[in-house]
Chain A
């Protein structure tokens, strides 16, 4: 793709938009949150998305996918972002699914990916061990034991970890925390002995879990990529997942901005529409500018993968650095411009604000990604 949506992508967008508007208004996400739904998303809706071919967009036809690209997936993710749909694209497709796709043996791919594409199988990627994103800061240990490995350690912020069927786990087989070398990726069944999940309630109403591995045993055939060389899989998985997350964020930016703009045009104070005040007009113009710049870098990042370019890592970090900042700006301004009503739980703008903050911290914030971009650029 280029920097604009193709005819086919525009058609896909319209389909996704009407699907989301009809089946998943923001109110649905609120109900899942308020009822403390055990799954946290709708398995039925997820399977419908599977039937529509959306879950499998990235995956090869041989495993039930559509073999399309991030341009197409991005269109769907953006529409999900517009309605704050909590379905497990990030955990199952972008993180877990990509790890299996990029690092899995042929038997593993054939075993796991068809279920992913149909919406029957939920995957998670357990990587994070502390609050700030630091992909190589892994202490969870994997020690050789007969024909397999024993895993000990604890992971946090494992997206959809409480309902995942398999947890792709990043563990250390050599070196020490912070080293890029010595990481290994394992596919571990969630119901294996020694694996326990504690669901953690997050501010955005999405699902995450702490996962404890207490001498969980995994077979050597369930390793993704090379032993000690897991970072070679992990890096591109994070880049792709980051770009996908930015596509979702773009949709949330659009919706939050449009709602705020509408509010400026309708809300009256001092006998006039508040949008007539120059202070607010200028800030709305700034938000528009950030939204348009975010769109440019997200589309460019999507094409960097789809066109097989060499600058995917730079694009991923560039996009997430910007989207994280824009999340703060648009999320914060949206609440501020809604005034007191924006502080109420009843008004939906607050749900966007909270989701955008969670997305900002997921897979690294602006500071992390500017640092990484600087490293990639040689300074």
Chain B
């Protein structure tokens, strides 16, 4: 393998050759389709959509250092990155649990960004308590017949295939009767019904299975042993979340201070509205205190001091902080923050409205605010119930 420095030079000249200028704006939703398609093809040709996968499965065969160097170079020129359920979650899981046959069948299309996957995990009755899922799969010959329902399935309406948790042994204890199975979405017996949310998005769907069919050979890992596979995949999901920087929309991300300064205006160097000035200062100080508190918890843990469990506190304060950031931006924008669509509003204003709505979920998912306070009272403060 080439030395890191030589490799970086190679990547740089390759980027100059294949990356159109109109793509050097970061990850945006409104990128020109043709340019984006060409860029994805160029990446795929070298296996660089999944640079650290082995070449026999369509990857780039790069080690960790070369992978990191490649990603840094792509990031440096603000080229769009390509990631999907296939590349970040299913792929790594298949590499670990799949048979040789399964890897050769499913990985190369993912590495070429040709097949879109979705994740069939949550059900109406199985949210935080995922292992209580009820979707049934019954073996008939060399196929499973699947009945049940999934919810909060991201991208189900556009997906070609689903990786899905199903109950293959209803008599076993709840963690032991689950299998991890792959099957196509485009078939009779699969019906997708997008869920429109308050922010107008419909990225999540409900998926109904009424006699859907999966090949028995497409179970990943042991039959009834899917819980282990499922948990491993969730770890990949979390590491992806942790590594992402967020802010997919809006290439030039304005800070809250920028917005408030512009909308409210300065008089003698001070925000013209003293009440909004107070809120903005409080907001900045809250964000800083949150990050200091998380850092302090890390230092306490490393020093072996008796660290209090502040996970719930962090989630609770983070959710409130994110929501109030949007509230202040909306307050600064006034009725220009109420636009829903179309002319009369700048894109950044419309994005702000939607972001304000989207972030209402932050105090709901991953344990509601109320659940977090319950947890603090019980587990941290040890107040008897």
Contact = CB atoms under 8 A, between A and B. Distances in A.
Contact of A288 (B261, B374, B381, B384): B381
A269 to B, nearest CB: 15
Interface string B278-293: 1011101110111011
B34 interface: no
Contacts, number: 116
A320 to B, nearest CB: 11
B34 to A, nearest CB: 43
Interface in A200-253: none
Interface stretch (A75-83, A111-119, A353-361, A370-378): A370-378
Interface SS of B by simple majority: helix
Interface string A181-193: 0000000000000
A318 B277 CA distance: 14
Contact of B381 (A284, A370, A371): A284
A38 interface: no
A296 B296 contact: yes
B313 A288 contact: yes
The interface centre, meaning the residue of B261, B271, B303, B370 with most chain A CB atoms within 10 A of its CB, is B303
Contact of B296 (A3, A278, A367): A3
Interface in A284-320: 284-286, 288-289, 292-293, 295-297, 299-300, 318
B292 A289 contact: no
Nearest to B282: A370
Given A275-B383, A285-B373, A321-B282, A3 B289 contact: no
B269 A297 contact: no
A141 interface: no
Nearest to B284: A377
Interface string A1-14: 01111000000000
A289 B311 CA distance: 11
A371 B290 CA distance: 20
Contact of A377 (B257, B295, B305, B317): B257
A97 B44 CA distance: 69
A276 interface: yes
B384 A297 contact: no
A371 B277 contact: yes
Contacts of A273: 384
A281 B299 CA distance: 28
A321 B285 CA distance: 9
B343 to A, nearest CB: 31
Given A281-B374, A288-B380, A379 B261 contact: yes
Given A375-B269, A379-B271, A281 B383 contact: yes
A282 B373 contact: yes
12 contacts: A2-B299, A285-B381, A288-B313, A292-B308, A292-B313, A370-B282, A371-B274, A373-B285, A375-B270, A377-B257, A379-B261, A379-B270
Contact of A374 (B271, B300, B305): B271
A330 interface: no
Interface in B87-144: none
Interface size class of A (residues with CB under 8 A): 35 or more
Nearest to B378: A281
A378 B381 contact: no
B385 interface: yes
A4 B383 contact: no
A172 interface: no
Given A281-B383, A288-B381, 13 more contacts: A2-B299, A5-B305, A284-B377, A285-B372, A285-B373, A285-B380, A296-B293, A318-B289, A321-B282, A370-B282, A374-B270, A377-B284, A379-B270
A299 B296 contact: yes
Interface SS of A by simple majority: helix
Contacts of B313: 285, 288-289, 292
Contacts of B316: 289
Interface string A252-295: 00000000010011000000010110100110111011001101
Contact of B374 (A261, A275, A278, A289): A278
A162 interface: no
A379 B373 contact: no
Interface string B293-321: 10110011001010010100100110000
Contact of B288 (A3, A5, A318): A318
A360 B178 CA distance: 58
A171 to B, nearest CB: 27
Contact of B292 (A276, A296, A321, A377): A296
Contacts of B308: 292
A370 B281 contact: yes
B299 A265 contact: no
A338 interface: no
Contact of A378 (B269, B295, B374): B269
A322 interface: yes
A5 B293 CA distance: 14
B370 A282 contact: yes
Contacts of B4: none
Contact of B305 (A4, A276, A367): A4
B249 to A, nearest CB: 25
Contacts of A375: 269-270
B275 to A, nearest CB: 10
Contact of A371 (B266, B278, B295): B278
Contacts of B373: 281-282, 285-286
Given A4-B305, A261-B381, A284-B383, A379 B280 contact: yes
A318 B376 CA distance: 25
Contacts of B380: 285, 288
The interface centre, meaning the residue of A5, A265, A292, A321 with most chain B CB atoms within 10 A of its CB, is A292
Nearest to A292: B293
Interface in B335-385: 370, 372-374, 376-378, 380-381, 383-385
The interface centre, meaning the residue of B261, B284, B289 with most chain A CB atoms within 10 A of its CB, is B289
A114 B310 CA distance: 44
Nearest to A281: B377
Contacts of A288: 313, 376, 380-381
The interface centre, meaning the residue of A282, A296, A300, A378 with most chain B CB atoms within 10 A of its CB, is A296
B383 A265 contact: yes
Interface string B216-239: 000000000000000000000000
B260 interface: yes
Contacts of A275: 383-384
Contacts of A300: 292
